[in-house]
Amino acid sequence: MAWPIAEVARMSGVTARTLRHYDEVGLLPPARVGEIGRVLAEQVDEVEALRGHHRRLVEERDRLDALAATVSRTITDLERSRKDGTPMTAINRPENLFEGVRPDDVAESLRDFPEHAERVAAHTATLTASEADAAQRERTAQMVRLAELLAAGHPAGAAPVQTEVAAQYAALTALRTVTPAEYRAFAAACTDNPAWRAAYESVAEGLAAYQRAAMETYADARLS
């Protein structure tokens, strides 16, 4: 069944002008154009298109929220530095440190952990592009949060640091069971694997060693 654009506008609660704009930008193309020039849209096209538009708006909102949070943290750091004279630890806060990373790159970075590499590849293959991007952004955010704890002077065994590491461990073991020995090998790779070390150090100097120490502390306390 098809409806004139005016009827679609009435049902959806948006203006006909907005629907025409959606058509112009390719978001909501008409199902067909009537003989007398009226644009007709089928219900399923309208619903799916608006769902897609809503999804993109939510993703943009999340991106802007993350950017605003980054600016807010930087302001806080600057104010603290000006107040007590404590030099700021330089922290790079990218939104997605892993944007553009290819499956082959991931496999290479996990070459010392072939079973885990295979599970990661299988899991990644089930994700949509949006889900993969969200996962990369969350991993980046984890690294930034750890860098902020480092900059604040928390030792690797401090409660807030161990809370972050516990969340990392939960995400890691959600993919597959990891033995204590393998987990310690993952910790060592933070400094010994050149790609891993470079990623951590690109966020903050000393973060690779800090991540390793935090993971080893976690293993001593929780996995021994």
Amino acid at 66: A
Distance CA 81, CA 77 (A): 6
CA-closest candidate to residue 183, choices 219, 208, 220:
219
CATH number for domain 1-88, candidates 2.60.40.10, 1.10.3720.10, 1.10.1660.10, 3.40.710.10: 1.10.1660.10
Instruction: Centre a 10 Å sphere on the Cβ of residue 65 and count the other Cβ atoms it contains.
Output: 10
CA-closest candidate to residue 199, choices 123, 49, 97:
97
Pairing type for strands 39-42 and 2-4 reads antiparallel
Looking at residue 91, what is its pLDDT?
A: 78
- Average pLDDT along the chain: 80
Check: CB of residue 151 under 8 Å from CB of residue 91: yes
Neighbouring-strand partners of residue 4: 40
The model's pLDDT over 93-122, given as tens digits with 9 standing for 90+, comes to: 778 778 777 778 888 889 999 999 999 999
Reported as type and span, the H/E element at residue 42 is: strand 39-42
The model's pLDDT over 37-62, given as tens digits with 9 standing for 90+, comes to: 444 444 445 677 677 778 777 777 77
pTM here is 0.62
The model's pLDDT over 167-203, given as tens digits with 9 standing for 90+, comes to: 999 999 999 999 999 999 999 999 999 999 999 999 9
The model's pLDDT over 12-38, given as tens digits with 9 standing for 90+, comes to: 566 767 767 666 666 566 555 554 444
Distance CA 4, CA 212 (A): 62
Tell me where in the chain the CATH 1.10.1660.10 domain(s) lie.
Answer: 1-88
